[in-house]
Amino acid sequence: MGKIGKYTSMPLNKVKITDTFWSKYIKLVHDEVIPYQWEAINDRVPDAEPSHAIKNFRIAAGLEQGEFYGFVFQDTDLAKWLEAAAYRLETHPDAELEKLADEAIELVEKAQQPDGYLNTYYTIKEPGKRWTNLRECHELYTAGHMMEAAVAYFRATGKKKLLDVMCRFADHIDSVFGTEPGKLRGYDGHQEIELALVKLYEATGEAKYLKLSKYFLDERGKKPYYFEIEYEKRGRTNHFPDALMHNPMYNQTHLQVREQTTAEGHSVRAVYMLTAMADVAALTGDQGLLEACRKIWDNIVSKRMYITGGIGSMAYGESFSFDYDLPNDTMYTETCASIGLIFFAHRMLKIEPKSYYADEMERALYNNVLAGMAQDGKSFFYVNPLEVLPEACEKNAAYKHVKPVRQKWFSCSCCPPNVARLLASLGQYIYTVNDNTVYTHLYIGNKTNVEVSGTGLVLEQKTNYPWDGKVALKVSAEIQKEISIALRVPGWCKNYSLTLNGVTIEAKVVDGYAVIERTWGQGDTIELNMDMSAELIGANPAVRANAGKVAIQRGPVVYCIEEIDNGRNLSAISVPLNSKLRAEYDKTLLGGCVVVRTEGVRTDAIAWGDSLYKPAEATVLPVVIKAVPYCMWGNRTPGEMQVWIRKC
């Protein structure tokens, strides 16, 4: 089988982001988030859940005495911090940050066991029980995150210490797992190592790492189920008491991966697995894996995804439930799950540049992911609901997972460092390139050097996106050569125009991309002007939670209403379908953003008096509704929030 994917991303050091919207977030990651999270994993954040990640490594390395603390996968706190730091170093060298990272890597190396094994939980707490509980104990998941960090750090700095550590660990894993006699026929309970092994293969050229990744995918779901075999073998004991983990659907072992057609179980595990499936399909030409990716993608985005790009509608198991089951107030939509959806979309774009992958990548990025972090970078949401009533969060156990305010840290703190590593690596999601075409997937101001069709191009993108729909792309070629530039026409865009050097042009649209093919000179400028009007969006009638409701969206940005702007009891507010939506830039609000105002009505509470029920009547008062970007909610006075609004 030959390769399927022929599209590559830009190396991070070739992309300089100069964007009015994203630069502040990237600076925030460097100035606040990475230093803050370093303090958190060193247990130096007052009143926050301790991490103990660094201390666990020190104990495992024999540098101090103590007991293991935290979850069985606590090592990933450090792994994801190292990965985020690496991406930042690749784009913005920083001697002090690099010194911190080097010291952490020295610690990791010291904690590695002589046979290559690396996991502080099993080194400190249960040294004789390695690889006995793959379903629950995340050994391979933890290894995968440290592998990703190792590859990122090698690419950023050229330093191989962590890469060598993780190659030794990967070699150890390869000696333990496989179909050969004497090896375990197991796979991970929480998928992650599969995509990490692909990165390790790409960094080292070692084919055995790609082969091992494919083995873990191929073995998953075969009967008899390996997790049941190991459960019996260890005397039917559990690490986590919750019987949920015994359900094969929870960790996507109910079917072999090529037979799966719907998104099931734990949402983060699902999209991490799908990311690896797309990677392996691209590198090996495996059409079965690719077709499964396409089918499950379609199921997610057409039946199981929120308007914000959130996935995982059920708190129990942090899981998908069933088609069109999308409650707004008890939903889970973990930040990590949307980040995983972005990974999956990006890998599919590297196989086939179809705009609908980039549309959903953009949706998740501008909405669910950004909502997961406060504007100051020092507090975070794990769960991202579309409707919040603070009193319910406090007093109703059904909402115990929903927080009306962001938290400083979490005992299971996978989301904050995941946000940091995504934003620090944002440059790699903007473009992909093949033999003769550059595809522009995201509209983010940047200057990028790209090699295409044997010549160098400099691309300079300028835009005030997502607050307006005008994008200017200057193209300068070192050698005059016919090359195609493809610009995504977003799914939300109903009308657009294109100019080249000030002259209106028509471009052929292929798979949602306007393709301009010509011989480029020095400073040729394309302008894409997209009509960006606010509009009311409805949901499929099968989505019961949104019956009789609408949401406000403008460009890629989904809006919400908050108590601070609209008063209490947001559920009493309705908006007419013919309401005129007015978009206004407010430079004083949350660092500057576009708000949307419109006329609506509110049910008159005074007319109801103390009655709980009475004959229905239309007693309403006129109100002006003010909506703000969902990604920015919860950054002012805590209170109610709602995305879907009753229509009238």
At residue 518, what are phi and psi to the nearest 5 degrees? -165, 175
Residue 110 CB contacts under 8 Å (≥ 6 apart), including other chains: 57, 61, 62, 63
β-strand partners of 602: 573, 621
Burial class (CB in 10 A: 0-12, 13-18, 19+), 65: exposed
**Alpha carbons 234 and 236: distance in angstroms, whole number:** 6
Write the DSSP string, 487-516.
EE--TT---EEEEETTEEE--EEETTEEEE
Contact, 386 vs 432, CB < 8 A?
A: no
Compute the distance between CA of residue 575 and CA of residue 551 in angstroms, rounded to an integer.
10
User: Would strands 573-575 and 645-647 be described as parallel, antiparallel, or unpaired?
Assistant: parallel
* Single-letter residue type at 511: D
For residue 201, give the nearest of 141, 117, 315, 282 by alpha carbon.
282
What would the two tokens of residue 118 be?
A: 């690396």
Q: Could you give phi then psi for residue 235, rounded to 5 degrees? A: 85, 25
Residue among 293, 393, 414, 493 flagged as catalytic: 414
CA distance linking residue 147 with residue 646, whole number of Å: 47
Task: List the structure tokens of 560.
Answer: 């919400």
Question: 259 to each of 267, 268, 480, how far by Cα in Å?
Answer: 18, 19, 48
Closest CA to 543 of 327, 277, 237, 268: 327
Q: What is the dihedral of CA 634, 638, 640, 645, to 10 degrees?
A: -30
* CA atoms of 78 and 55, how far apart (whole Å): 11
Determine whether 87 is exposed, middle or buried from the number of CB atoms within 10 Å of its CB (0-12, 13-18, 19+).
buried
414 part of the active site: yes
Q: Active-site residue among 98, 264, 318, 563? A: 318
Q: CA separation (Å) from 632 to 381, 405, 413, 423, 508?
A: 12, 12, 21, 16, 37
How many whole angstroms separate alpha carbon 422 and alpha carbon 426? 6
Pair 177, 130: CB distance under 8 Å: no
Are the C-beta atoms of residues 463 and 453 closer than 8 Å to each other? no
What is the secondary structure of 185-235 as a DSSP string? ----SS--HHHHHHHHHHHH--HHHHHHHHHHHHHTT-SS-HHHHHHHHTT
d(CA 30, CA 94): 10
Q: What is the set of active-site residues?
A: 318, 414
